[in-house]
Amino acid sequence: MTDRLYIDVHILQTVPPANLNRDDNGNPKEAYFGGKRRSRVSSQAWKRATRVHFAETRDPQDLATRTKRITARLTEGITQRTAVTAEDARRIADALIKATGISPGKKDGDTAYLLFYGRRQLESIVDLVADTATDLAALDAKALEEAVKNLPVKEQLQTGHPTDVALFGRMVADIPSLNVDAATQVAHALSTHAAELEFDYYTAVDDENTADETGAGMIGTIGFNSATLYRYATVGLHQLRDNLGDDNAAVDAVDLFVDSFTRSMPTGYGNSFAHRTRPSLVAVVVRTDQPVNLVSAYENAVPASRGIVAESARRLATEFATATDQWGDDPLYVGICHTLGAETDETGQELAKAFGANRTFAALREGLRASLTERVNGN
């Protein structure tokens, strides 16, 4: 396989009035870019939405969870698999986690930080004590810690990573050996145009008000904006392969990420705004040089005069074509799926010239998979 192989994902998506990702004041996050205030959705918010979407197509047991409560989950596993009491299972779980060197939290049973681990990895830790749990439960605290300290607990968290840990990585500052280098980078989504913060003043009526009672039972405000967002992410297939230890599993993981990143949506104030949309454009580019974020296409904010989505798409096509010509770094594979008109239209022509023929999202994924499979198999 090529030493370095990056899959860039470029998305244009229009969102109606919404508050996808709020700041410390409860308003939609924003950023200045090109001297204009833009709507922003943090990378963390969209990575979380992507991970949640994974569970729609994969068995949750094959995925990871991120929590401070690994001891509680381990206690549950030991209780379910053995005959020891819940209290003894907790004691064993505490000793096992202590053996890894993971720092305890302020709350009893918690770790000091969120730990991202695979559910199957936790099962493998339970396997280490399943046959001896009754004997371990009979030991006092000091003897129990001594009995488990040489068990390969840490090793279970260092191997067999699930797809989401392999993609997004894991950092444990005080135990570097548990770190997993992320194979994926996700940019903060930015509006391609200037965006203004607005406020919805709402009232809620008390259904049990009597006829002589007037006024609302509750009033408040919610900040919102609307935006056409440029979203970008990149996956390093070489790092993903190292994390998973298998070429075909790495290709599967790329396909899962592209599907879930494209279809997912942060859920902030979802009931209030029903903001879920699908992208107007998805382009994927496979490169061997470096990831390339095309956000510079929008340094000058897109005006509303020509239609924001269509103009955003034309600028993306121009930026990609210009960068490719100037730097001479022809991609290995380019594909696009969009809903912005036929190739006889101006926008369609420019997109086709830069990214090739329009195709369905399923065909886009199939083409990407075929290109990556050919590369990893050395054909």
Into how many domains does the chain fold?
2
* Residue 57 within any structural domain of the chain: no
Q: Is residue 195 in some structural domain?
A: yes
Domain membership of residue 176 (yes or no) is no
Q: What is the pLDDT, as a whole number, of residue 217?
A: 67
Whether residue 276 sits in one domain with residue 148: no
**Across-strand partners of 7?**
235, 286
| End residue of a domain, out of 128, 161, 194 | 161
In a domain, 135, yes or no: yes
Structural domain boundaries enclosing 238: 6-50+183-376
Q: Which of 161, 193, 226 is the last residue of a domain?
A: 161
Domain assignment present for residue 60? The answer is: no
Q: Are 35 and 136 found together in one domain?
A: no
Within a domain: 169:
no
Same domain, 133 and 81: yes
Whether 105 and 251 map to the same domain: the answer is: no
Tell me the whole-structure pTM to 2 decimals: 0.91
Residue by residue, pLDDT tens for the chain (379 residues) are 448 899 999 999 999 999 999 999 989 999 999 999 999 999 999 999 999 999 998 998 888 999 999 999 999 999 999 999 999 999 999 999 998 888 888 888 888 889 999 999 999 999 999 999 999 999 999 999 999 999 999 999 999 999 999 999 999 988 999 999 999 999 999 999 999 999 988 777 777 776 666 666 677 788 889 999 999 999 999 999 999 999 999 999 999 999 999 999 999 888 889 999 999 999 999 999 999 999 999 999 999 887 899 999 999 999 999 999 999 888 999 999 999 977 778 889 999 999 999 999 999 999 999 999 998 887 5
Based on the fold, state whether residues 26 and 125 are members of the same structural domain: no
What does the alpha-carbon distance between residue 169 and residue 189 come to, in Å, rounded to a whole number?
Answer: 20
Residue 323 inside a domain? The answer is yes
Q: CA-based angle 362:245:161, to the nearest 5?
A: 85
pLDDT at 1: 47
Same domain, 211 and 357: yes
Judge if 18 and 73 occupy the same domain: no
The answer to whether residues 278 and 349 belong to one domain is: yes
359 and 245 together in one domain: yes
Q: Is residue 168 part of a domain?
A: no
Give the per-residue pLDDT at 213.
67
What is the identity of the amino acid at 138?
A: A
